[in-house]
Amino acid sequence: MHMTHDSAAPAAPPIAFEQFLAVDIRVGTIVEALPFPQARKPAYRLTIDFGPAIGRKTSSAQITEHYALDELVGRQVAAVVNFPPRQIGPVMSEVLTLGFPDAEGRVVLVGPGTTVPDGGRLF
């Protein structure tokens, strides 16, 4: 899956609303953030709690430039929860934590501006 991080890139081709609904994006709270030295690119291993229906999931996130491990726990983030899990080194990444690129292409996490219940689905 190739994703462009170029802010000058044109919008993607139109899709049907049903295709958007097929992507399950939920909010969760980071409950654990650990170093991930085995990753090819600098990354952290996150455990994110998506509430009782989905539970806790792991994610490998390349967010080391903007975030220290100790400031991540307790932060709410958005993630795609219905992609197949991906093996990244010794870690099974179960969800894709979402972010936007800053001016240098470094990841800035996406999350709600106000605390919301974990497990809420983006609409």
The CATH number for 25's domain is 2.40.50.140
2 assigned to some structural domain: no
Cβ(63)–Cβ(99) below 8 Å: yes
79 assigned to some structural domain: yes
For 2-44, how does the pLDDT look when each residue is reduced to its tens digit (9 = 90+)? 455 677 789 999 999 999 999 999 999 999 999 998 888 899 9
32 assigned to some structural domain: yes
50 assigned to some structural domain: yes
Cβ(24)–Cβ(81) below 8 Å: yes
Q: Which two tokens stand for residue 84?
A: 């197949």
Distances in whole angstroms, Cα of residue 67 to Cα of each of 43, 70, 110: 10, 8, 13
Give the domain range for residue 43. 17-109
59 assigned to some structural domain: yes
DSSP element (H, E) containing 20 = helix 17-22
Structurally, how many domains does the chain consist of? 1
123 assigned to some structural domain: no
> Model pTM?
0.90
DSSP element (H, E) containing 8 = none
